[in-house]
Amino acid sequence: MSIAIHAIPGAFAGEVSGIDLTQPIGRDDAAAIEAGMDRHAVLVFRDQRITDDQQRAFTRNFGTLEQSPGGHVAKAHERRLPLDMQDAGNLDQHQRVFARDDRRRMFNLGNRLWHSDSSYRAVPAKYSLLSGRIVAETGGHTQFADMRAAYEALDDAARSEIEDLVCEHSLLFSRGVLAFEVTEEERATFRPVRQRLVPTHPVTGRKSLFLSAHAGSIVGWPVPEARAFLRDLMEHATQPRFVYSHAWRPYDLVMWDNRCTMHRVTRYNETQPRDMRRTTVAGTEVTTHQKEPVAA
Ligand SMILES: [Fe+2]
């Protein structure tokens, strides 16, 4: 069995075959997957019946596991998954579907907004790996937007206008869109961080748009003007020509590069269980070091 990566027809994403993620993988296979990520930014692995430990072990081939604190509202005794895994499903710690007004469910509704995972952290995430253990029968697709292509489709004037802009990202902004009410303690935890709007990928050197529902202001701009402009950019970047929509089959594992894509989940029947478990590769660098930010 040898690894192969093919572009999914009509999409920027790739599909990986010839690898079994229940087993440790070799250095050559890890390098082939990294190269595939640099090219496609989203990779799909079908039929991977992995355990949590196998998911963690595979994830560690690409860096350090990001820890959950600072990125959710579940209390310790309410968590279903350990702190180095993120829960993207709709189940509580007793494997029961969340009540409609459960605060954890309402917080998770933020996943319906286009975002990049952990863009609200000072050092944002590198990769996310999402394993579909129980998938929705209808809906519940994960859609990905290619932010390299979105950047490259801008004209020269737009590119030079945004080149040096720096945005502030926070869970307060994405949850504010949904009128989700945070506690004072959460407000302190979710303090905004700064991210370049146009980062350069550390491996490929390609520029992209670093947008996210977590982005709520632009340094040096009046807030309403920044919000309106970020909405314009969001609309541009999520046109169908930049989007791959993943329809889940049980035991798919989908891996994406948060540095150059956005994603969101589509609506699904939340009275049925959906068990989706994410591991995240922590990033290694801030986005604002690449060039000194210049206030507009
Ligand atoms: Fe996400």
- Pairing status of strand 42-45 against strand 14-17: parallel
Ligand 1 centre from 116 Cα, in Å? 6
The structure's pTM equals 0.95
Ligand 1 centre from 249 Cα, in Å? 18
Ligand 1 centre from 89 Cα, in Å? 11
Ligand 1 centre from 117 Cα, in Å? 5
The pLDDT-based confidence of 294 (bands split at 50, 70, 90) is very low
Instruction: Give the pLDDT of residue 142.
Output: 98
Sign of the torsion angle spanned by Cα atoms 189, 228, 283, 92: positive
Ligand 1 centre from 156 Cα, in Å? 30
Q: Which of 52-66, 79-93, 243-257 has the lowest mean pLDDT?
A: 79-93
Ligand 1 centre from 267 Cα, in Å? 14
Ligand 1 centre from 190 Cα, in Å? 16
Ligand 1 centre from 179 Cα, in Å? 19
- Exposure string of 137-167, with b = 16+ CB inside 10 Å and e = fewer, is eeebbbbbbbbbbbbebbeeeeeeebebbbb
Ligand 1 centre from 246 Cα, in Å? 14
Say which amino acid occupies 209. Answer: L
Q: Is the confidence at residue 69, as pLDDT, over 80?
A: no
Instruction: Say how far residue 128 (Cα) sits from the centre of its chain.
Output: 6
Task: Please report, for residues 88, 154, 207, 213, 265, the alpha-carbon distance to residue 112 in angstroms, rounded to integers and kept in the order given.
Answer: 11, 25, 25, 10, 5
Instruction: Give the pLDDT of residue 290.
Output: 60
- Average pLDDT value for residue range 137-155: 97
Ligand 1 centre from 203 Cα, in Å? 22
Instruction: Give the pLDDT of residue 74.
Output: 84
Summarised one tens digit per residue, pLDDT across range 166-199 is 999 999 999 999 999 999 999 999 999 999 999 9
Ligand 1 centre from 228 Cα, in Å? 23
